[in-house]
Amino acid sequence: MDREQAKIRIRELRDIINENNRRYYVENSPVISDYEFDMLMNELISLEKQYPDLVTPDSPTQKVGSDLEKPRGDKGISQPGNPAENADGGHRKEFAQYPHRYPMLSLGNTYDMSEVEAFVERAAKGLGGRTFTFSTELKFDGTAICLTYRHGKLYRALTRGDGAIGDDVTVNVHHISNIPTVLSGSGWPQEFEIRGEIYMPYKAFDRLNAERERDEDPPFANPRNAASGSLKLLNPAEVGHRGLECTLYHLLGENLPFDTHDQALNAAASWGLPVSDRRKVCRDIHEIEEYISYWDTERKFLPFATDGIVIKVNELAYQRELGYTAKFPRWAVAYKFQAERALTKLRSIDYQVGRTGAVTPVANLDPVPLSGTTVKRASLHNLDQMRLLDIRIGDYVYVEKGGEIIPKITGVELSERGKDVTVPVFPDRCPDCGTPLVRDDGEAKFFCPNTDGCPTQIMGKLVHFISRKAMNVMAGDATIEQLYRLGLVKTPADFYSLTREDLLRLDGWKDRSAERFLASLEASKATPFEHVLFALGIRYVGETTARSVARHFGSIDAIMAADRQTLLAVDDIGDVIADSLLAYFADPAHIREIERLKAAGLKFSIDEGTGTAASSALAGKTIVISGNFSISRDEMKAFIEKHGGKNSSSVSGKTSYLLAGSKPGPEKMKKAEQLGIPVIAEEDLRKMTEDASAGITEGEATAGMGDRTADGTGLAGDAADDTGKGQLTLF
Ligand code: IVH
């Protein structure tokens, strides 16, 4: 390749790598495998090596991928199809950002054992033949975190960000169960940083994805993306619910009293910090190889994802001597395991209809072992993907687990294609109800438009209605199916006229099960409005949007009365969601359904002052907010109201405070200055409310900044108890 060609290819590679970095670190929804990414990066590295004058400081070879949330326009974030929203359902728009005290770098990585040998030789040469050891560790596949402890207390948690500045996720980290807020033991330095990985164990990942699939939120591709998306969630209590865990592997600070990395981590463990005990100090390349080959097999039995082994020079003085390149330490390297893939035969394709009518092709495969489980089915995503793969029934196909867990078909082995293969036919009618399928502009999926008549969609909607984040009624999918098949429940409102006699018709149901179910339905009537709105299953109105809309309008009547313009004025509502809401409420059947649900006693407006107030710290205060905060603007307004304050949109003589976030409006700031209105920051506001909520723990107080309370009921304190008691007395 000559210089001109190299220049073009370098530009192309940088664009591809930057885009994939963004998808990986910011959107949490990568489209290529780690291996493919690493190969692109290797190509860029070798071209830049060949033409060093073409290296620029902004090349992705010179900096770490950034997870920083870029401030976006209000409308950008929650449009369907935007992976940021799709991938995590409730992404924060912007976090406070702080600089890292020490740059947060990545690791050089390789898939090649000979490069590990080369690393060992380089280190030995760099240290001039002195004796040293290596710490070998699992490479946890999660998202990097930097914790600062001051005076034995967790002070701040930052993501890697761009390596120099990270997003402040302290509030969320308080909800990760194995991260201590206060250290135990003794001898910890007054101030230190400890870095590690936040990851999601497989069990929590499977549970989360099952929930998301049921709610028709796109599942996370792998536990890493799930961990990273969850860490940046809007609602700290929900973070707690996601079952994240942490492992720490790098202690930093001034004048730390340790000679080796291993000693430092042992000390950290003695202070109650989560440190892996699957580490080993190795003396030479043979011991390193032994460790790698042991874990290459054994890692398949671990309850969490690992993607390799990290090899570090153990002596801290030698680490300092070897130092860093712009991007990596010279004292450590990662050996990465290749994602496993298997070749198997495609037997047939099912076309599954979901709750919203989306049709997903699912491949039925000859069972094949892959990373510890037997794979029989794999997703084919949509028609475009099937065309891209040029897949035929009877083909031999490659199956991979994205991040080791969800199987997907990544390719077809054309050399194995027999004569008897057949071209799959994507149905043009709903496989369930026979209605012609439609595909809207810009949609990857086909839909069955028979929303209220297609049995699968009806049952899917009923299941969604009672699901945990919606009405939270205790019943399984099989019960719902029976209720539907017996003609007892066709729409959600029918649940509330079920009688004991109706329920006794279900297979194996006795008095007690019927009573329990009725009690659970009764208790569900106390579900807050925002969950009821979510339960209705309006297309594109997920949990986060339902919350914003409910809080903005306060009642279903106000939402129904809103025209397009009014809807578009809400944070998080763009064209697609506005159209979906308008279409939903334009259907008289939906209005009748809402009337029936209202008559049954469900909440169709936000409770005012019914025990949900967190404090009266802001009573009598009129507050104007401007700029961006660590929570969305709607949440900030709700927070103010929860503490008794009143929101106003313009600064006047009646304004008590101007609450200024990042990038406040210059007009408002000027007006406040002219009128002598105090300008306060989010921290000041928190302080005011926290002082007033003295007695509640920090975790609970901060949970109030988000949405639901720590127990996930959405009701604070007494109100939550009430629901619990209500259920008990009814049983
Ligand atoms: S040490 C200065 N140790 O893998 C570099 N990193 O692909 C310190 N990782 O950036 C990192 N397990 O986020 C280290 N045992 C381990 C690790 C580990 C996972 C992550 C970390 C790192 C990335 C590199």
The closest residue, in CA terms, to atom 18 on ligand 1 is 139
> One of 93, 139, 336, 603 is an active-site residue; which one?
139
What percent of the chain has a predicted confidence (pLDDT) above 70? 88
Answer whether 310 contacts ligand 1 (Cβ < 6 A). yes
pLDDT value of residue 696 = 30
pLDDT value of residue 684 = 83
pLDDT value of residue 691 = 66
306 and 365 share one domain: no
Answer whether 107 contacts ligand 1 (Cβ < 6 A). yes
Environment class of 441 (CB within 10 Å of its CB; exposed 0-12, middle 13-18, buried 19+):
exposed
Give per-residue pLDDT as tens, 76-113.
Answer: 222 222 233 333 334 434 688 899 999 999 899 998 89
Answer whether 41 contacts ligand 1 (Cβ < 6 A). no
CA 206, 212, 218: angle at the middle one, nearest 5?
105
Answer whether 144 contacts ligand 1 (Cβ < 6 A). yes
The whole-number average pLDDT for the span 551-580 is 90
213 and 122 share one domain: yes
Strand 134-140: give its sheet, edge to edge.
Answer: 109-110, 332-336, 306-313, 134-140, 280-282
pLDDT value of residue 192 = 96
Distance from residue 107's CA to the centre of ligand 1 (Å)? 6
Q: Give 221's contacts (C-beta < 8 A, 6+ positions apart).
A: 29, 30, 402, 403, 406
| Structural domain contains residue 616 | no
Give per-residue pLDDT as tens, 571-613.
Answer: 778 888 999 999 999 999 999 999 999 999 999 998 764 445 5
Establish whether 139 is a catalytic residue. yes
pLDDT value of residue 701 = 29
535 and 507 share one domain: no
pLDDT class of 144 with cuts at 50, 70, 90? very high
| Structural domain contains residue 436 | no
The whole-number average pLDDT for the span 311-316 is 98
Answer whether 308 contacts ligand 1 (Cβ < 6 A). no
Stronger pLDDT, 440 or 707, i.e. the higher one: 440
> Do strands 332-336 and 109-110 pair parallel, antiparallel, or not at all (unpaired)?
parallel
pLDDT value of residue 709 = 26
Tell me which of 70-79, 143-152, 207-216, 709-718 is least confident. 709-718
* 307, 310, 330, 331, best to mutate for ligand 1 pocket (most atoms within 8 Å of CB): 310
308 and 183 share one domain: yes
C-alpha 297, offset from chain centre: 29
Most trustworthy range by pLDDT among 96-105, 148-157, 365-374 = 148-157
| Structural domain contains residue 74 | no
510 and 555 share one domain: no
C-alpha 138, offset from chain centre: 23
Given a cut of 50, is residue 115 above it in pLDDT?
Answer: yes
Given a cut of 80, is residue 695 above it in pLDDT?
Answer: no
pLDDT class of 717 with cuts at 50, 70, 90? very low
Answer whether 334 contacts ligand 1 (Cβ < 6 A). yes
Given a cut of 80, is residue 214 above it in pLDDT?
Answer: no
Could you tell me the CATH number of the domain that includes residue 463? 1.10.150.20
517 and 534 share one domain: no
| Structural domain contains residue 35 | yes
Choose the final residue of a domain: 468, 499, 524: 524
Stronger pLDDT, 289 or 704, i.e. the higher one: 289
pLDDT value of residue 216 = 63
pLDDT value of residue 372 = 63
477 and 503 share one domain: yes
Tell me which of 58-72, 143-157, 169-183, 297-311 is least confident. 58-72
pLDDT class of 712 with cuts at 50, 70, 90? very low
Given a cut of 90, is residue 16 above it in pLDDT?
Answer: no
pLDDT value of residue 402 = 59
pLDDT value of residue 583 = 94
Distance from residue 261's CA to the centre of ligand 1 (Å)? 14
Given a cut of 90, is residue 1 above it in pLDDT?
Answer: no
| Structural domain contains residue 445 | no
Separation between Cα atoms, residue 255 and residue 477, nearest integer Å = 59
Given a cut of 60, is residue 403 above it in pLDDT?
Answer: no
Choose the final residue of a domain: 306, 336, 366: 336
Answer whether 34 contacts ligand 1 (Cβ < 6 A). no
The whole-number average pLDDT for the span 345-365 is 92
pLDDT value of residue 633 = 80
Give the number of domains in the chain: 6
Could you tell me the CATH number of the domain that includes residue 664? 3.40.50.10190
Contact present, 396 and 347 (Cβ < 8 Å): no
Stronger pLDDT, 704 or 596, i.e. the higher one: 596
The whole-number average pLDDT for the span 272-299 is 95
* 109, 249, 299, best to mutate for ligand 1 pocket (most atoms within 8 Å of CB): 249
542 and 514 share one domain: no
Distance from residue 225's CA to the centre of ligand 1 (Å)? 16
**Distances in Å between the alpha carbon of 277 and those of 248, 262, 269?**
11, 10, 9
142 and 287 share one domain: yes
Separation between Cα atoms, residue 322 and residue 314, nearest integer Å = 12
The closest residue, in CA terms, to atom 22 on ligand 1 is 106
Stronger pLDDT, 441 or 304, i.e. the higher one: 304
pLDDT value of residue 668 = 85
Helix 575-585 vs helix 588-600: crossing angle, to nearest 10: 80
Could you tell me the CATH number of the domain that includes residue 397? 2.40.50.140
Q: Give 118's contacts (C-beta < 8 A, 6+ positions apart).
A: none
374 and 510 share one domain: no
Six-digit token string for 133: 């050891």
The owner of tokens 């190969």 is: 39
What percent of the chain has a predicted confidence (pLDDT) above 90? 53
Distance from residue 142's CA to the centre of ligand 1 (Å)? 9
Mean pLDDT estimate for the chain = 84
The whole-number average pLDDT for the span 387-394 is 93
pLDDT value of residue 643 = 79
Six-digit token string for 498: 């079920």
pLDDT value of residue 340 = 74
Answer whether 197 contacts ligand 1 (Cβ < 6 A). yes
- Provide, for the chain, the percentages of residues in helix, strand and coil under a 3-state DSSP scheme, each rounded to the nearest 5: 40, 20, 40
Give per-residue pLDDT as tens, 492-516.
Answer: 999 999 999 999 999 999 999 999 9
Given a cut of 60, is residue 233 above it in pLDDT?
Answer: yes
| Structural domain contains residue 444 | no
| Structural domain contains residue 693 | yes
462 and 519 share one domain: yes
Separation between Cα atoms, residue 607 and residue 604, nearest integer Å = 9
Given a cut of 90, is residue 459 above it in pLDDT?
Answer: yes
| Structural domain contains residue 353 | yes
SS3 for 389-415 is HCCCECCEEEEEEECCCEEEEEEECHH
146 and 291 share one domain: yes
Q: What is the DSSP string of 173-193?
A: HTT-TTS-SB--SS---SEEE
The owner of tokens 């400081």 is: 57
Distance from residue 147's CA to the centre of ligand 1 (Å)? 14
Among residues 142, 176, 179, 146, the alpha carbon closest in space to that of 275 is found at 179
Contacts within 8 Å (CB) and 24+ apart, 69-78: 69/26, 69/93, 69/94, 69/95, 69/167, 69/232, 70/26, 71/628, 71/662, 71/663, 74/571, 74/572, 75/568, 75/573, 75/574, 76/574, 77/572, 78/544, 78/545, 78/572, 78/573, 78/574, 78/577
- Domain hosting 480: range is 455-524
The whole-number average pLDDT for the span 294-304 is 90
Answer whether 309 contacts ligand 1 (Cβ < 6 A). no
